Amino acid sequence: MTKKLNQLEATAICGNDISSSCLYVSALAIVYAGQYAWISLLMVATVLFFFRKIYGEVVGALPLNGGAYNALLNTTKKSTASLAAALTVLSYMATAVISGSEAVKYAHSILTSIPVLPVTIMLLLVFMGLVIMGIGESSKVAMIIFLFHLFSLIILCGFCLLYFVENGTATLISNFKLPIEGSIFSALFLGFSAAMLGISGFESSANYVEEQQPGVFPKTLRNMWIVVTVFNPLIAFLALAIIPISTVVHYQDALLSVMGITAGGQWLSMLVAIDATLVLSGAVLTSYVGVGGLMKRMALDRILPKLLLKKTRKGSNYFIFIVFFLLCVSILLVTKGNLAKLAGVYTIAFLSVMILFGIGNLLLKLNRARLPRPEKSSWLGLCIGIFAVLAAIIGNVILNPHYLAIFMEYLIPTLIIVFFMLYRVRIYKAVLIVLEYCFPEKGYVFKKLHRKIKELLYNVHKQQFVFFTNHDDIVTLNIVILYIITNEAARRLKIVSVLETGKSVNNQLKKDIKTLDRAYPNINIDFIEETGIFGPAKIKELSTRWSIPTNFMFMGSPGEGFPFKIEELGEVRLII
């Protein structure tokens, strides 16, 4: 059995991404909000506090890998969940490429002989190898980077505070006397919108929750929130206290290095550069780990090719990481290391995933109200969280109008791949019609293509599905079948009742199932009465006996009296 991640290991993996934001987000906030930047950053921390509860409720109720994809898959249509998955993969790709490139650029500032593009590719390759070795090994590296980063930030803030005390408030007062463009409200809004980039990584922990020890996930959310709430506003305030705003704007790409050389000298600036190289490299690792959990779940659900599920002897899905590495390298080569375009993808994709997670929480409250959950977000907090992130997207489009067009350039090809897998049955059938039209004589080419597409259709349709029930009426069962028809390429459905010895279902249920079998001639519906106790052991037994993966097994939402946790049932999907 694979060793589960403890609190520090799990926090370190996602924490490197979110804590690396201090390298750029404080400067960004000062550029747009001036002397009110620290307030904008506190506003971001407040929004993140609401999202702690939102993520806590959703993942507490549905503790499976996949993040926003998993939340929406269990509460609404598969196509909506697929959109969330596509956005998340885009976000991870952008994060990996930008963080890797920026890490090497910081290393280049220390040692100018380092070639940026080849070393960036090498860095991506090293972390690919690390995650293929296993999440346990990669978590140890993440933990060392994370602890060193926190140590470096504490040292930097300590020296900046000491410098501020020794040199007085003249710089701070001078900065606060400067006029701002527009109103205070617009400054705070634009500063807040830019600063929302500083919480990228918060969504990552939900994508590897199955690899974490019980009870660890909400602690990772708390720890990330503390880091963001303490360091980002503090660094912005200290920057305003010791450096003129004009200098901050000029050196916004290396603000912390400037703070280091101002407060402590060359050695502190060097420490910051080394730390930046390491923690940005750690953010690359976050992307690999997060995308591994997500793409595995997508492949299991037939949204991505089954080929991605190939494993090493240690159980690592190496093909996922190889594909992700190749995609990242292709972006680097196409852009030739000029990553300004990717910033737009990164911004809108990440914030869109946050909104979709909030919508997942909303649907969970409405559609899966019976489902037990360890904590609940308030309706007010949920609405504030969703609207705040929506406002941040609007703010970023105002700041960089071209971001939206660039984002669509990357999103559309991604969606084409995902939606091809989702609707491939319809596409195959359309191709068959076109073949009939183009090859009326039905020659050799027609027969070969026709046979191949028929094989592809057979491979899709041969997958069986299971729905567990012992009391649902015809209306509920009809909703279940309509869901399966809409979301899956189903031709064979087993409706299963697991009953204790000597018990049987009422005759009306059997009659209802026969009625539905006649009503849906394209689906072969079998009713099976299975002796035993419904739970993880029985689900695993049936999955093995029938060769049906648990993620193709469905059930209704259990109530508070259900004796098992959802995560114990494997990937059984809740559809009503």
Dump pLDDT digits (tens) for 438-484: 777 677 777 888 888 888 888 888 888 889 887 767 888 888 888 88
Q: Does domain 7-420 have CATH number 2.60.40.3080?
A: no
CA distance 71 to 69: 5
Picking from 158, 130, 90, the residue whose alpha carbon sits closest to that of residue 294 is 90
Show me where the domains of the chain are located: 7-420, 424-456, 463-574
Question: For tokens 């020890």, what's the residue?
Answer: 213
Note the pLDDT tens digit of each residue in 502-560.
787 788 888 888 888 888 888 888 888 888 888 888 889 899 899 888 888 888 888 77
CA 461 from chain centre, in angstroms, equals 30
Mention every residue, 6+ apart, whose C-beta is less than 8 A from residue 420: 427
Q: Which of 88, 311, 114 is nearest to 206 (CA)?
A: 88
Question: In sequence order, what are the residues at sequence separation of 6 or more whose Cβ sits closer than 8 angstroms to the Cβ of residue 474?
Answer: 512, 515, 516
pTM: predicted TM-score of the whole model, two decimal places: 0.85
Residue 4 — pLDDT band, cuts 50, 70, 90?
confident
Residues 6+ apart with CB under 8 A from 249: 30, 31
pLDDT in tens, 558-569: 877 777 787 778
Q: Quick one: CATH architecture of 463-574?
A: 3-Layer(aba) Sandwich (3.40)
Run of H or E residues at 524: strand 524-531
Computed from CA positions of residues 415, 359, 289, 3, in that sequence, does the dihedral angle turn out positive or negative?
negative
Dihedral sign computed on CA atoms, order 341, 342, 343, 348: positive
Q: How far is residue 124 CA from its own chain's centroid? A: 19
The mean pLDDT of the chain is 86
Q: Which segment of 139-148, 263-272, 383-392, 431-440 scores lowest on mean pLDDT?
A: 431-440
Report the distance separating Cα 554 and Cα 572, nearest Å.
6
Q: Encoding tokens for residue 224? A: 């990330």
Nearest to 290 by CA among 200, 228, 161: 200
* 101 contacts 122 by C-beta, under 8 angstroms: no
**Rg of the Cα trace of the chain?**
26
What's the token pair of residue 61? 């109720």
List, in order, residues 6 or more apart from 415 with CB less than 8 Å away. 83, 86
Give CA–CA dist 231/38, Å, rounded: 10
pLDDT digits (tens, 9 = 90+) for 299-346: 888 888 888 888 887 778 889 999 999 988 888 887 776 666 677 777
The span from the CA of 150 to the CA of 19, in Å, is: 8
Which two structure tokens, joined as six digits, stand for 237? Answer: 């305030």
Same fold, 7-420 and 463-574: no
Are 152 and 272 spatial neighbours (Cβ–Cβ below 8 Å)? yes
CA distance 483 to 54: 26
| pLDDT score of 339 | 67
Q: In this predicted structure, which of 239-253, 268-282, 315-329, 422-436 has the lowest mean pLDDT?
A: 422-436
Q: How high is the pLDDT of residue 522?
A: 84
Of residues 205, 299, 288, the one with CA closest to residue 12: 205
Report, as an integer, the average pLDDT of 227-252: 91
Which of 33, 8, 74 shows the shortest CA–CA distance to 359?
A: 74
Determine the Cα–Cα distance for residues 527 and 448; give it in Å rounded to an integer: 38
The candidate with the shortest Cα–Cα distance to 255, out of 31, 411, 461, is 31
Two tokens, residue 408 = 């669509």
Average pLDDT over residues 136-156: 88
